Structure 1
């Protein structure tokens, strides 16, 4: 749920009381038309707030926390669980780690890919799901389970839904915002080496199992895309 424009403008006045709209957009890298449209509609995207916060060297987490919708972010950052950290490691990085451990020196590891990766949202939800998480999120937010699943398939999670999911899972509030790409690991208070350390703690068996699960999920996604492509081609052929 985007931020109410009146509340956003009060926050912005406190951050940059003497700045014009043009100044704010220039410093934050936001298009003036984008900000103007959001203000006219009465809803300002969280990503806009984050961009402005970065432009003025303010913590995006603290900025979001000034709004009641993101009150969960107030206070000291809650460290992510090891499973959350591993969920934010790209599948190709997992595969490289498997090869490196199986045949040391056979691959050159240049560090992990940055967050978020192409399946970061689904992997994060799977990592914190006890089997009933989707049901609890649906009850708490009113979102239909199929709509929640659609967000995961598209690898995007609205920030307010990410917060609700964290709350329902009993984990730190920033994890879903990192997985969704709104915040960086550093902004969320994660250790700079946290993901690598979580990966290093995994046994080879655990690593191979997880990589296999990721590949299986990727295979299903690719098959669906291929089937959709084939159906589209058949439709065009029938249209002549």
Structure 2
């Protein structure tokens, strides 16, 4: 849910007092027209707060916590679980790890690249799956009023509104900022995740668990690609009939 413009103005006056809107937009990269439109509507996007926070060396999570909607972030200090950390590792990195572990010694070359940054192509759905006890979606729907089908549609599109991401974290009993990492609104560091936590979680996976997880990801990717191919074929048939 976008933040109230009046609350944003109060926050901004404390962050950059006596600074013009033009200067704020220039240093933060936020377009003046975008900010002006948000202020006119009375609703400022969370991404705007994050961009301005970074420009003024303020932790975005701490900045969001000053708004009533996200006040719970200030008291949330739970570290990410192992499953959450693994969920934020891209499929290509899992496959690379499988190759490194199973290849003959010396055949993979000296050293391996680090993990891809968050978020990745299925980070949101993977994160929700990682913390879901089977009833999570129902609890989130009951707490927020968002219909399960609408919630699932966001997951399929690999996105989740920031407020809904926090509500999901709360319903699952995990760190409230974790969902903001999965959606890409904030970084691991900004959310307080320990340095190298994802890599450490990957290293702790047994060869069997790593291979099984990589296989599950590939199967899911295959299903998605097949659906896309079928949709494309259907679209082409429709166009052929229209011509």
Conserved? CA contact 1:77–1:188, under 8 Å: no
Normalization by structure 1: what TM-score?
0.98
Looking at structure 2, the residues matched to 231 and 223 of structure 1 have their Cα atoms a distance apart, in angstroms, of: 12
Deviation per residue, 1:7-52 (Å, 9 max, x gap): 0001001111101110110110111000000000110000000000
Cα pair 1:96 1:107 within 8 Å, conserved? no
Note if 1:208 corresponds to 2:211: yes
Pair 1:39–1:105, CA change in 2 (3 A): farther
**Is 1:166 matched with 2:169?**
yes
Question: 1:75 Cα shift?
Answer: 3.1
Distance 2:3 2:106 in 1: 50
Residues 1:140 and 1:76: Cα distance change in structure 2 (over 3 Å): closer
**1:80/1:190 contact within 8 Å kept:** yes
Offset from partner CA, 1:59-115 (integer Å, 9 cap, x none): 111100001111121036321001100000000100111111111444352110011
Partner of 2:99: 99
Counterpart in 1 of 2:50?
A: 50
Q: Identify unmatched segments of 5+ residues in structure 2.
A: none
In the comparison of the two structures, how many residue pairs are matched?
240
Under a length normalisation based on structure 2, what TM-score does the superposition of the two structures give?
0.97
- Structure 1 runs of 4+ aligned residues shifted over 2 Å read 75-78, 104-108
Among 225, 228, 231, the alignment partner of 2:231 is 228
- Aligned pairs (5 A) from 1:100-139: 100-103=100-103, 104-108=105-109, 109-139=112-142
When the two chains are superposed, the root-mean-square deviation of aligned CA atoms in Å is 1.0
Q: 191, 196, 201: which one pairs with 2:194?
A: 191
Q: Which runs of 5+ in 1 are unaligned?
A: none
